């Protein structure tokens, strides 16, 4: 190889080396820029995540939001202040039996399973009207929200029709669906919908389902629970189920407790009706 060719080869090699170094320097610069940008994005994302977490932490719970709600949305088929008067039965019936129940209450479930058919027969016969007052004190005692969620769902059923309300209440308290007192199954909307699917008027009823999901009657459930608390002081109620007619407690043969058999219930009601 001539000296000239050798020099040209060296120059070419140097050019290739320079070009390679420029490419590497360019890649390194781009990499640094990407790292800076990604770091900035990470900082922003972290800040946003923290901000979101703070917002969520400070966001009121479903029931806090319901408590703060100014207006009560009452279901159809109600009357009285805030729609807390729920009366079902024939207009010809002269007297009204007020029934106080907490959805999670196991004794209420026993009461409904044993006496529900008798009460239904009495309503159909026009023997008396039935007024329902819901309670949710077990949510406080046992922790949870099942009583309030079930009350809100009962409001959604009542908004469909009184018949749907009664059928849904019967289903919620049935041996098949009523959970143990310590199990808060009624807090799950999917479970409430499962129970509702046994009621023709509520099965796949989108309006009912949306009212439950959106908590349309959550505030109503809270004021209904407050009515139970107020009536407890007024009538000396100590729990659920409790019965009142003409402003007086309806009790069994012991004069203290709610009648829990058909015989005791019928005797107590007949006595109250004679008043």
How does pLDDT run along the chain (275 residues), one tens digit per residue? 444 445 655 565 566 656 566 666 666 665 565 544 445 444 434 444 444 444 344 467 999 999 999 999 999 999 999 999 999 999 999 999 999 999 999 999 999 999 999 999 999 999 999 999 999 999 999 999 999 999 999 999 999 999 999 999 999 999 999 999 889 999 999 999 999 999 999 999 999 999 999 999 999 999 999 999 999 999 999 999 999 999 999 999 999 999 999 999 999 999 999 98
Q: Is the backbone of residue 37 left (phi > 0), alpha (psi -120 to 50) or beta?
A: alpha
Q: Any idea what the Cα angle at residue 69 is, between residues 64 and 75, rounded to 5°?
A: 110
Distance CA 122, CA 119 (A): 5
d(CA 102, CA 125): 26
Sheet holding 242-245, edge to edge: 86-88, 129-134, 96-101, 242-245, 248-249
- Using alpha carbons, select from 16, 91, 81 the residue that is nearest to residue 224: 81
pTM of the model: 0.79
Report the DSSP pairing between strands 248-249 and 242-245.
antiparallel
Two tokens, residue 213: 């999901």
Residue 218 structure tokens: 């959550």
Q: What's the CA gap between 18 and 192, in Å, rounded? A: 74
């Amino acid at each position: 190889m001539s000296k000239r060719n050798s020099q040209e080869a060296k120059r070419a090699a140097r050019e290739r080396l320079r070009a390679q170094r420029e490419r590497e320097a360019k890649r390194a610069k781009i990499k640094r820029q990407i790292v800076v940008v990604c770091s900035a994005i990470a900082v922003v994302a972290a800040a946003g995540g923290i901000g979101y977490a703070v917002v969520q932490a400070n966001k009121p719970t479903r029931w806090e939001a319901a408590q703060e709600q100014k207006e009560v949305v009452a279901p159809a088929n109600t009357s009285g202040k805030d729609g807390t008067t729920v009366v079902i039965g024939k207009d010809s019936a002269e007297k009204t039996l007020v029934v106080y129940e907490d959805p999670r209450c196991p004794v209420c479930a026993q009461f409904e399973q044993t006496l529900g058919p008798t009460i239904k027969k009495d309503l159909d016969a026009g023997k008396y009207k039935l007024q329902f007052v819901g309670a949710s004190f077990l949510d406080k005692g046992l922790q949870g929200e099942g009583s309030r969620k079930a009350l809100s769902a009962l409001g959604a059923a009542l908004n469909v029709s009184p018949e749907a309300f009664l059928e849904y209440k019967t289903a919620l308290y049935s041996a098949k669906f009523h959970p143990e007192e310590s199990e808060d199954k009624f807090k799950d909307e999917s479970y409430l919908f499962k129970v509702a699917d046994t009621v023709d008027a509520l099965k796949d009823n989108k309006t009912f389902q949306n009212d439950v999901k959106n908590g349309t009657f959550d505030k109503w459930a809270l004021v209904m629970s407050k009515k139970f608390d107020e009536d407890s002081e007024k009538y000396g109620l100590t729990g659920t189920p409790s019965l009142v007619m003409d402003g007086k407690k309806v009790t069994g043969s012991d004069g203290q407790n709610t009648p829990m058999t058909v015989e005791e219930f019928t005797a107590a009601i007949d006595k109250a009706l004679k008043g």
